[in-house]
Amino acid sequence: MVPESFMSGRTIPGRAASGWLRDFSEPRLSAVVSEAMRSNQDLAASAGRLRAARANAGVTRATELPQISASGGTTRRRGVAEIPGGSTVTNYTTTHDIGASLNWEIDLWGRLRNRTQAALADANASAADFHAFRLSLAANIARSWFNAAELEQQVRLARETVTSLEKNLKFVERGIDLGTSEALDLRLTRANVANARSNLDAQSRQLDQATRALEILVGRYPARQLRVSQSLPDLVVEVPSGLPSALLERRPDLRASKFRLAAASERGAESKKQFLPSFTLTVGGGTTSSELRKLLNPDYLASSIGANIGQTLFDGGRIQGGIEAAKGRYDEALASFRQNALQAFGEIETALAAEVFLESQLRSQKWAAEESTKAEELAWAQYSGGLVDGLTWLEAQRRSFNASSGLLQLKNLRLQNRIDLHLALGGDFQSRP
């Protein structure tokens, strides 16, 4: 049984948001997404598939209508006749003809209409696939944008750490000269500097890869020229309580599954009607003359009209096999629709629950980062004053860096989860199907 509202989450004050990209307060992100909608090549390919599906629906629709054709031509024949005496005479005759015909299969049982409705459902499914691709593309760009923004901050943090450690290394080296520092402290500090430089190079490489991948998504050449945000935004729009489950009806992937189920149903009905007789109306008319002026003379017009009925008496089980195959495809489409719906509910419930957990985790991580920074400052002051050993100070440094780096990762993770929630809902928190 489907609940009227989603179960996860808690009552959170705040109004529903309109336009999910605006929730992140990143105007440049919205501009980049708009650019991708014009330039992404995968989206252009999806648009091509949509046009083909719509054209195919039009072709199928045409089978319900009469097919009218016209023809005309001129034929010149050369003949040879033998006359007494052994000589021959060459004769030339010219014949002009013009004609028209009409063929129409009368859809008495609605079989052709079932076929047309199935093609229209396929076209609607392709349209839903296209919109699903657009939504997924926007979500992927937003994810990539914030991943790159996090890496920007990770690079900045790593660079600051390298600068700080190099400064501290000079202090330890002076202490070695003065006899106030130990060789172990020097070795450990040098190792920390080397590790920090290695981490800076690794973060810079990841930032380069992430930026180029984002440029490809947008449809640009991967020239590493796109500049993302230098910081991760705070989520100021809260998830409203009691989100109606009816919002799920607007998810384009579910709409596509629903249309494919309808197409399978129509094809099942069409296959059953193959047992019924078909009726075809044929009308033809035209004239043939050796003189062009007589072609349009109604006195020379010949016409015909006929009605045909066809009924399959034996086909070796072909029609029955088609019916069974259509039933199988319908059962497959129905099971896929149900599974997709369950998956959609699972994605939404998981993202809603994660909103609560991540908010609490973020508060704890902020506290840990603040305390670790203060602890590092205190450890350095005590180490420089000779009150603690080098291991205590180096451990405080490590904890401070890890806590700050973890805070950046967690802030990005919360943004990624909000993107997942909007993707699972098929849009913002307010727009109706």
Q: Please, are residues 123 and 55 in contact by the beta-carbon 8 Å criterion?
A: no
Residue % of the chain over a pLDDT of 90: 47
Which pLDDT tens digit goes with each residue over 172-206? Answer: 888 777 776 788 888 888 998 999 999 999 999 99
pLDDT at 235 over 60: yes
Which residue type occupies 173? E
Which pLDDT tens digit goes with each residue over 87-133? Answer: 666 777 777 777 778 788 888 888 889 999 999 999 999 999 999 99
Greatest distance between any 2 Cα atoms in the chain:
142
- pTM of the entire predicted model: 0.81
Query: Which of 254, 314, 274 lies closest to 115 in space, CA to CA?
Result: 274
**Fold held by 20-74+93-425:** Outer membrane efflux proteins (OEP) (1.20.1600)
Q: Please, are residues 389 and 420 in contact by the beta-carbon 8 Å criterion?
A: no
**For residue 90, how many C-alpha atoms fall within 13 Å in the half-sphere facing its CB?**
4
Q: Please, are residues 142 and 229 in contact by the beta-carbon 8 Å criterion?
A: no
Q: Please, are residues 277 and 140 in contact by the beta-carbon 8 Å criterion?
A: no
Which pLDDT tens digit goes with each residue over 360-413? Answer: 999 999 999 999 999 988 988 888 888 888 788 888 888 999 999 999 999 999
Query: Which of 372, 376, 355, 293 lies closest to 12 in space, CA to CA?
Result: 355
